[in-house]
Amino acid sequence: MKPYSSFKQTFHQHAKEVAPRAGLASVGAAICSLLFSTYSMADESPEYFCGPENPAEARSVETIIPALYQTVSGKAGSNKNWPLLKVLFAETASVTPVFHTKDGKMTANISSVDEFIALNKAIFKDQDFFETEIDRQTFTFGHMANILSHYASRDAVGAEPYAQGVNSFQLLNDGRRWCVISVTWDSHSQDHPLQGKVFN
């Protein structure tokens, strides 16, 4: 399947070659022919944006979000299902946590899924970590979904949360399954505290 940028380049070049020697109807027919041949090639060797894997956890928005929380949670040093986490993200997905500095400023670090997994392994190799969703707000349109998820972080199941915040997930559906293309989160702070119910 041709990348979108490559398709645009071929499209414009083809139109430029046809336009000087043909009327509007001929140009339209040539464009239709190009579109048909392009999509025919895509159908011959189908590729899915989210990747070749099709895990059950990615079949719906209602299943993929809980799976994301479950895969990052567990006892210190436990064998978490990192392969599943990686499959739930698109290959080029970004992970962007927001950090608050001691002087009240913010900074953010855009990382890949592999970098996020490596960081989690390092931080929680000696520390229990359990994260759960408290509430969610979902907007879907066509093949995309934007999800705001209020989360709570704990060091033991049933313990009081030591941190809360909001995850912002952007997902795409490739016609077969959902995958995360980006996630950004910010946590409770004095400047923007979380009090009670986040979403009305």
**Domain extent listing, the chain:** 4-44, 56-187
150: three-class secondary structure by DSSP = strand
- Is the pLDDT score of 193 beyond 90? no
For domain 56-187, the CATH class is: alpha beta
Residue with tokens 């499959």: 87
pLDDT at 192: 84
Q: What angle do the packed helices 4-18 and 24-44 form, to 10 degrees?
A: 150
**Using an 8 Å Cβ cutoff, are 40 and 32 in contact?**
no
Lowest mean pLDDT among 96-105, 117-126, 159-168: 96-105
pLDDT attached to residue 197: 78
Please tell me the distance from the alpha carbon of residue 49 to that of residue 178, in angstroms, as a whole number.
Answer: 10
Confidence of residue 51 (pLDDT cuts 50, 70, 90): very high
Q: What angle do CA 99, 165, 57 make, to 5 degrees?
A: 110
pLDDT tens-place string over residues 52-110: 999 999 999 999 999 999 999 999 989 999 999 999 999 999 999 999 888 888 999 99
Asked whether the whole model's pTM tops 0.85, one would answer no
Angle, vertex CA 178, rays to CA 65 and CA 181, nearest 5: 80
Mean pLDDT score, 132-142: 97
